[in-house]
Structures are given as C-alpha cells and as structure tokens.
C-alpha cells in the first residue's frame, strides 16, 4: 500500500493536471473567483446521539455551480436531520493541480475527508492508490441502469465501481449559421447523419477564406487535458485505442496504425490551413471561424456573443464516437461511514440533482431519466448533445497510468498539429508509457 501511495503522489505531482469537463472554466483552464464561501458549518443535533457527520471536498468552479452544490447538500441535511449531516468544506481554488495537491497532502497526513469530487479520467489513479473505495454494494442495480453508460465507464476500475457523476460532457461540431447559409451547406442534425472525415475536411477547406478559418480546435487551451478530451475520438472512430484491452501495454496501440492515421488526419487539417495553431480566444464566437469542435460551454459563450450558431455531431472515420467525462463523487478509504456517504452520493446524482445542475451549468445530465424530462434536449441544437451522450460517448482510458498517458497523447496531438511525423512521435512515447504501466502490472 505504501508503495502504491507513493507512486500515486509521484504521478500527480509530476503532471500538471488540467481538470476537465465539469464546466466551461474547468475544460478551458480558466477560473472564476468564488465570492461566496459562506458554507453553513452548523451541525444539526441528534436526538439519540448517533448523528453521522461526513466531510465533503469540492474544487472551485464558478459561483453559481458551487452554490448549487452547497444548496443541495443543505437539502440533504434537512431531509436527514438527526441521521446524517454533510459538511462541505470551502471550495479549493483549482489552479493547475492545486486540488489534487490538497488531496495528496491530506493523504500523507491521514486526514482525507469522507467524500471528494474528482475528475472522471483520474478515477483509476485514485482507486489503484487506495485513496477511494468501491461502492458497488451500496448502489442499487435499478439506480445504476439510469446512468448513461459513459458515467459507469469512467467510474469503474478493475471491474468495480468507484464513483458517480451528476453531469456528463461532450464535444460537438459547432457551426456559424450565417456562413453555412451563404455557402449553401446543410449541417447534419443527428449521429446517423454525421460527416465522415473526408466530408468534414472538404467543408473546412471550402469555408476557409481571408475572413475566417474553416475550423477552430481551441488550441489556445494549451497542451493538456483538452487535447486528449477533444482529440481521442479521432482515434476511437478510426477503431483505434491507446492501450491494450487488459491495460498492460501501449505498444501497438498508442503507436498503432489506427492512432497514427488519426493523427495524420490532424496533421492534414493544419497543413491545409483550415485551422490555427494559436487562435484568438473568441475566434469562433466572433465569426472568424466557420466551425469549432468545442464543449457545452461554447454554446454559452457563443450565445453571449450574439452568434447565430448550430451544433453537429462529431465527424467520424469508421464508427461514430464522442468524448465524455466530468467531475464525479467518490468515497474515500478514510471514511468510517461508507453507506451514509454512498447515500449522499446517490442524492447528489439523482434525477433532480442532475436536472438542476444541468440548468445551472449547461452541461448534459448523467441520467437518462433527466434527459427525458428536459424538453430542451429534444430540440436542436441540444438534441445533438443528447444523441452523442446516450449513443456515442466513450470514457477516456481507465488506467492508473492515466496522468502520464494523457500528457503524452496531448503532446503527440500538438506535434502532429505542428507538422511532425506522428509515427515517430508515438513510437518515442510508448516506452515511457509502458514503464509507467509496469508499476501497476503485478
């Protein structure tokens, strides 16, 4: 166990983790200062002296989202007065890897809270390191079937469930309606109608003019989690993967022909001049890019900018795939009350919670029952987001070596964008990934 804990600390501290997919601020790496730290720390007195008190840590997102978590926790406490009380610690401002560093510090000191929020792709790292515990025995089967498949994928490690999320995420192909109408281009409206890579490239080239680029990939977000989150579907849709099915090696997968071909396509997009390596922050919103592969937060910024936009499904090579993953709840191994902690987790990810959080953040809900009650996901453009979350979403690789894996894939994506040889770069990175994997291959 000590060896695993040390390995985990080295993983997290050696990689600048850009927490992904919880909200616009998290995925882009920007942060808003939360002015409301007024967490209610007063505890309800138990009439029988058996009150269970749980501590929850959350990371800083934005004021509205943070306040929603606080309000829902207060509702849980009221509903379980005298039985369970959850105290939410003041949010940790998530700049770089500060949230993960705080968890590491608590791990070493032996004072982890009962519950934490963590980014879905890093579940395996925490699970393999003994930071969080499996929760299968506390979650009824009928509850699990209501979560979209990708939520269970991202929350599982080694055949066991460790986390549940209240929100999902996706990357859609946004488009400028004015530019499309002027060019006489009709956008697909469902996964079944999604463009192939060739169709996608042809439109991007046609719409690249002196006034605007054909595409924005938000390369200004930096070389980090965004490039993995946005970029991996190119590999998946080409029927590729980064690791072997048993997760023990990257050889022949990370550098396999399907991955190479996917990054060659990325290289072509930049070589053809349809996308900028360093776009302005608001290139799409200001009408200087005809299309953009972006997350749900782009709908918010585009709407605020007054842009008339639509959404299309992610383009594909052989099979339709889209990215997924977001912040999720997990029970730490430090808790003395796992059943009570799991009860709170279910409350925070139930239908009502997921609907409310979606309304606050604009992120898609994690439950199909929530989708069914939200009319806005039945109409364009949000019907495209729902279509992807339910039918094509895939979680990023569940591996304890994910921090290293994601950083190297992001670097390979960037290298392809800069015109380097994908095969050579991927071959170069495989030994580093396999060395990291070997630490966990008992």
Residue-level pLDDT at 384: 98
pLDDT tier at 95, thresholds 50, 70, 90: low
Read off the pLDDT of residues 58-82 as tens digits, 9 standing for 90 and up. 887 788 999 999 999 999 999 999 9
Which carries the bigger pLDDT value, residue 207 or residue 37? 207
CA separation, residue 259 to residues 172, 281, 316, 407, 436 (Å): 21, 29, 14, 16, 20
Question: Is the model's pLDDT at 184 over the cut of 80?
Answer: yes
Reported in sequence order, the residue ranges of 255-296 that DSSP labels E, i.e. its strands, are 291-294
Q: Is 280 in contact with 287 (CB distance < 8 Å)?
A: no
Average pLDDT over residues 105-110: 80
Estimate to the nearest angstrom the gap between the alpha carbon of 167 and the chain centroid.
9
Please state the φ and ψ torsions of residue 173, each to the nearest 5 degrees: -95, 100
Provide CB contacts within 8 A for 179, sequence distance 6+: 207, 212, 287, 290
Provide CB contacts within 8 A for 171, sequence distance 6+: 229, 230, 233, 293, 294, 295, 314, 322, 323
In the numeric block, the tokens 């506390």 are attached to 138
Q: Which two tokens stand for residue 259?
A: 């991955």
Cross-strand pairs, 174: 292, 311
Question: Is the model's pLDDT at 120 over the cut of 60?
Answer: yes
Q: What is the mean pLDDT of the chain?
A: 89
Residue-level pLDDT at 25: 39
Average pLDDT over residues 166-183: 98
What are the structural domains, with CATH classification, of the chain? 2-169+325-394 (3.40.190.10), 172-323+401-438 (3.40.190.10)
Distance CA 223, CA 219 (A): 8
Average pLDDT over residues 46-57: 80
Residue-level pLDDT at 35: 35
Read off the pLDDT of residues 249-293 as tens digits, 9 standing for 90 and up. 999 999 999 999 999 999 999 999 999 999 999 999 999 999 999
| Strand 393-394 relative to strand 322-323, pairing | parallel
Residue-level pLDDT at 335: 97
Residue-level pLDDT at 102: 79
Question: Is the model's pLDDT at 43 over the cut of 50?
Answer: no
Quote the Cα angle for 302-306-311, to 5°: 40
Read off the pLDDT of residues 374-424 as tens digits, 9 standing for 90 and up. 999 999 999 999 999 999 999 999 999 999 999 999 999 999 999 999 999
Residue-level pLDDT at 90: 83
Buried b (16+ CB within 10 A) or exposed e, 172-197: bbbbbeebbeeeeeebbbebeebbeb
* pLDDT above 70 coverage of the chain, percent: 87
Average pLDDT over residues 80-109: 80
Distance CA 295, CA 23 (A): 9
Give pTM, 2 decimals.
Answer: 0.87
Distance CA 10, CA 18 (A): 16
Please state the φ and ψ torsions of residue 383, each to the nearest 5 degrees: -60, -30
Question: Is the model's pLDDT at 295 over the cut of 50?
Answer: yes
Provide CB contacts within 8 A for 117, sequence distance 6+: 56, 57, 58, 59, 327, 328, 329, 330
Average pLDDT over residues 201-226: 97
Question: Is the model's pLDDT at 20 over the cut of 70?
Answer: no
Distance CA 442, CA 440 (A): 6
Estimate to the nearest angstrom the gap between the alpha carbon of 137 and the chain centroid.
26
Picking from 292, 271, 295, 296, the residue whose alpha carbon sits closest to that of residue 216 is 292
pLDDT tier at 97, thresholds 50, 70, 90: low
């Amino acid at each position: 166990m000590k060896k695993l804990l040390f390995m985990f600390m080295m993983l997290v501290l050696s990689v600048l983790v850009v927490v992904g997919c919880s909200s616009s601020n998290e995925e882009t790496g920007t942060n808003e200062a939360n002015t409301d730290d007024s967490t209610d720390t007063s505890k309800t007195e138990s009439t029988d002296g058996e009150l269970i008190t749980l501590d929850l840590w959350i990371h800083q997102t934005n004021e509205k989202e943070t306040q929603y978590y606080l309000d829902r926790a207060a509702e849980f406490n009221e509903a379980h007065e005298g039985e369970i009380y959850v105290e939410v610690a003041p949010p940790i401002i998530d700049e770089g890897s500060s949230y993960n560093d705080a968890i590491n510090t608590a791990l070493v000191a032996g004072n982890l809270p009962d519950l934490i929020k963590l980014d879905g792709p890093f579940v395996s790292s925490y699970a393999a390191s003994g930071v969080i515990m499996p929760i299968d025995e506390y979650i009824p089967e009928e509850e699990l079937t209501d979560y979209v498949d990708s939520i269970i994928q991202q929350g599982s490690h080694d055949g066991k469930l460790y986390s549940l999320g209240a929100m999902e995420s996706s990357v859609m192909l946004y488009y400028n309606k004015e530019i499309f109408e002027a060019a006489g281009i009709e956008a697909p409206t469902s996964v079944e109608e999604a463009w192939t890579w060739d169709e996608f490239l042809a439109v991007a080239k046609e719409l690249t003019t002196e006034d605007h680029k054909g595409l924005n990939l938000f390369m200004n977000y930096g070389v980090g989690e965004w490039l993995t989150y946005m970029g991996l579907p190119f590999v998946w849709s080409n029927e590729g993967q980064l690791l072997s099915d048993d997760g023990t090696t990257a050889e022949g997968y990370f550098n396999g022909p399907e991955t190479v071909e996917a990054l060659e396509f990325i290289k072509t997009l930049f070589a053809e001049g349809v996308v900028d390596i360093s776009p302005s922050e608001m290139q799409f919103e200001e009408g200087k890019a005809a299309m953009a592969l972006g997350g749900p937060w782009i709908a918010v910024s585009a709407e605020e900018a007054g842009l008339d936009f639509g959404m299309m499904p992610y383009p594909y090579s052989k099979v339709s795939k889209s990215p997924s993953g977001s912040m999720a709840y997990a029970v730490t191994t430090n808790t003395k009350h796992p059943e009570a902690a799991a009860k709170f987790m279910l409350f925070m990810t139930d239908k009502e919670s997921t609907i409310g959080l979606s309304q606050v953040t604009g992120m898609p809900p994690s439950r199909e029952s929530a989708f069914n009650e939200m009319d806005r996901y039945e109409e364009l453009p949000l019907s495209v987001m729902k279509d992807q979350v339910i039918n094509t979403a895939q979680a990023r690789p569940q591996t304890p070596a994910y921090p290293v894996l994601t950083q190297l894939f992001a670097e390979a994506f960037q290298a392809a964008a800069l015109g380097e040889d994908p095969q050579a770069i991927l071959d170069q990175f495989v030994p580093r990934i396999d060395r990291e994997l070997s630490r966990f291959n008992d």
